[in-house]
Chain A
Amino acid sequence: MKGMSLKLLGRKDVPTVKLFATLRKAAGEKDFRSDARNVAEVLEEVEKRYGDKVSRYLRNCIILVNGQNAGYLKGKRTKLEEEDEVSIFPPLAGG
């Protein structure tokens, strides 16, 4: 698995980070497994993995942890459990 850190090897299940819409397009990847312990670490990791090309999308992004808006949980301090799913959406709307 691309970019998997050593810490991951010792863990059975780790959170999955899913990228959507223009963020996915900029990153060139749909999802990745992460050893992040909270949302802040996920964001750091995304920025580290993909560099400047994704930074602007992360500024006002919407983050769901298992379908719940992290903003209504503990924001960036929201802790992640094994098998959690973190979905990151750039600001978007349609309809």
Chain B
Amino acid sequence: MKGGNWGKVLKVDLTTGKIETEELPEQHYRDFLGGSGLAAKWFFDHRGWEADPLSPENPLMIMNGPLSGTSYPGVSRLEICARSPLTGIWGEASMGGHFSPQLKRTGYDGIIVLGASEKPVYLYVTDEGAEIRDASHLWGKDTYETEELLKEEVGDKRAQVICIGPAGENLVKYANVMNDRGSTAGRCGMGAVMGYKRLKAVVARGNKKYPVADEAGFKAAREKMSETLKFSMVAEGLHAFGSNVHMEYGMAIGDTPVKNWREAYWAEGPEKLGGTTVAEKILTRTHSCFACPIACKRIVEIKEGPYRMEEGPGSEYEAAAALGTLQRMDSLEANHKANELCNRYGMDVISCGGVIAYATEAFEEGLIKEEDTGGLRLGWNRPDVLLELIRRIAFREGIGDDMAEGVRSMAEKYGGQEFAIHVKGLECPMHDPRALWGMALTYATSIRGACHCADSNLYVDLGLLNHNELGVKRSWPYRAKGKAAQTIASQKKGVIANSAVICQYAWNASGGSLADMAEALRTLTGFGYTVEELAKVGDRIWYLKRAIGNLCGATREDDRLPRRILEPHPEGVTSSLHLALYPQFMSMVPMGKMRVEKVKDTTVNLMKKYLFPNMDKILTSLNKLPMFSLSRKKLQQGDPAERQRRTVAFDEMLEEYYRLRDIDEKGRPSRRRLEELGLQDVAEVLHG
């Protein structure tokens, strides 16, 4: 290998205790980069889809990419992949922190864990190789304690630890893997896969210098990226207020969900829970992942009160929304406490928040009763209930045992499918497709289920990125036209980010240039990547993962979104249909961008000015306007044409997407497309 990779992975069988090194062909690295791309290739070659997610045969793949752990900005990332116990299909989760550089320096590109141990163990990986060690004394410890104890145990503070908490041990289906206390491989239940294998943690400490094909060239590429980030206003915002800087804007455009996705606007939400409020009230300092100039992590402290917490990682945007606005909870302190509990127990905040919001609505609807909850009265804005539910889920106590299975499973047992917000079993992240239509395709066609990190559509729809270098125009945030092509281009870049491996914040904040990425990878690996070849790599990995999804049983039927997040809001301030008075205007305005009270005022002003100039007194109050009330009432009951106009044109976008992706009626990539990308072996398995 010329650079970036070592050309080998560590293979550990926890059933037999056998540890070996497996060399991988150079062509695999060139064609699939590394990270989740290389993991998918290994998974396919070893027929990973035949293993039950919670079985010894399910391979847990802890992977670096060529960029991981190098000196390039934003490359602290690590990918953890396996068949997901939550969704049953391909699962992957990306994490920042400080583990990937240590793994890189041990001389391995990744660790593939097979089998399952009878007793709790941890894996200690160094330059000298690997060792399976007893972890009985750590079983039951939370992730913060485990990390600390293991660093002490190996006697090296520079050693890095990824570990699970009680949630992973108890096989909570959305248990995560943690590093550096606040960095998480959150989604798809990779922590449960570790828990099943009785693998409490992996500790890495290395000293080897990774190879670089063209030192001077890579240094120049690195400096260019650093320079760009220095002047990036997106990076500046992330540094100043963390990822939660998004909440104010997200709420303003209806992107941030409220009350289990029933509402799209809650003015007080960002004031109570947003990034600027955190900075004003509880922030003590910022923190960064390895070699990251942005430092978006928040360190907070709550000194007193019922939700007191010692100085530690604060909520990022997803936690602030999933454990805040989604519960319509206005306590900043309780939100951070909830985030801390999820971190310590080792649970994905998005899925956890989604499950609790579903359960609250199901309780409200009478589907879940007090006898089911052991007397706990679920409700909106009830911080103590939220914290108690998090605990019960992590330990699978009472209703927590059902909730630990995820929202899809909950809805199958208790009903309320219409408000169980997930795709392919993965709870939706905190971006509402009604505000940014691109997110509808993103969620529906993401390989692992509802995911906002598998592509860069969020940034494109927000107007911060474009795909000009791929010859794809950015489409309007709430128009179907062009969305499919935009999504495919976004997915190429997303796949590359998760395979290269680089933080999407950092890459996107620098402009998300594929040319810059090709330059970095070309100089690092020595493979002669061009933008075109890299785009093809992005496609190749995507189609491979799509095929793995098919082999796990996914079809077109699974590329669906819950109706609730496609249709106009039935309640809250964005539900009123005053803009029906201006249908042409309406077609341009996304659901979330309406502020009904303001529109109402504008409407009244127009009527005063042009239609009823002498009826000023009568028009002082809207409630005295019978025609207005009538119109409002009628529309609230549902005007089919108007509803249609404001409903995300999902089917139209999806059909176009299938056509461009060449997906057949069963949801499989066509044989022709697979063969064009050099995936003959995949075509053979998929199509026979």
Taking Cβ atoms with an 8 Å cutoff, the residues of A that contact B are: 20-22, 24-25, 56-57, 60, 62, 64, 66-69, 71-72, 81-85, 87, 89-95
Contact = CB atoms under 8 A, between A and B. Distances in A.
B246 A94 contact: yes
Nearest to A61: B233
Given A81-B601, A83-B598, A93 B240 contact: no
A94 B253 contact: no
Contact of B234 (A56, A69, A91): A91
Contacts of B252: 64, 67, 87, 89
A95 B508 contact: no
A22 B231 CA distance: 13
Nearest to B595: A67
The 5 closest A-B pairs by CB, nearest first: A94-B243, A94-B246, A66-B598, A92-B237, A67-B595
Given A91-B237, A94-B317, A21 B275 contact: yes
B249 A62 contact: yes
A21 B589 contact: no
Contacts of A92: 233-234, 237-238, 245-246, 249
Given A21-B237, A95-B318, A81 B602 contact: yes
A23 B240 CA distance: 11
B593 interface: yes
Among A25, A68, A69, A94: residue with most chain B CB under 10 A = A94
A89 B276 contact: no
Nearest to B254: A67
Given A22-B233, A60-B233, A95-B458, 12 more contacts: A25-B240, A57-B233, A64-B253, A81-B602, A85-B595, A89-B248, A89-B249, A90-B236, A93-B508, A94-B296, A95-B318, A95-B429
Nearest to A92: B237
B622 to A, nearest CB: 14
Contact of A69 (B242, B508, B593): B593
Interface residues of B, number: 50
B598 A95 contact: no
A41 B595 CA distance: 22
Contacts of B677: none
18 contacts: A21-B241, A22-B236, A22-B241, A62-B249, A62-B463, A67-B253, A67-B592, A67-B594, A72-B588, A92-B246, A93-B234, A93-B459, A93-B464, A93-B508, A94-B243, A94-B245, A94-B317, A95-B429
B431 interface: yes
B430 interface: yes
B248 A68 contact: no
A34 B58 CA distance: 62
A83 B254 CA distance: 21
A84 B600 CA distance: 11
A52 to B, nearest CB: 15
Contacts of A71: 463
Contacts of B598: 66-67, 83-85
A69 B589 CA distance: 9
Interface in B220-250: 233-234, 236-238, 240-250
B51 interface: no
A68 B602 CA distance: 13
Interface string B73-103: 0000000000000000000000000000000
A67 B595 CA distance: 6
B516 to A, nearest CB: 18
A67 B264 CA distance: 12
Interface string B428-452: 0111000000000000000000001
Contacts of A25: 240
A95 B240 contact: no
Nearest to A71: B463
A20 B248 contact: yes
A85 B431 CA distance: 24
B472 interface: no
A26 B505 CA distance: 22
Contacts of B459: 93
Contacts of B243: 94-95
B251 to A, nearest CB: 9
A62 to B, nearest CB: 7
A94 B296 CA distance: 9
A95 B605 CA distance: 38
Contact of A93 (B246, B430, B588, B592): B246
B683 to A, nearest CB: 36
B462 interface: yes
B464 A20 contact: no
A95 B452 contact: yes
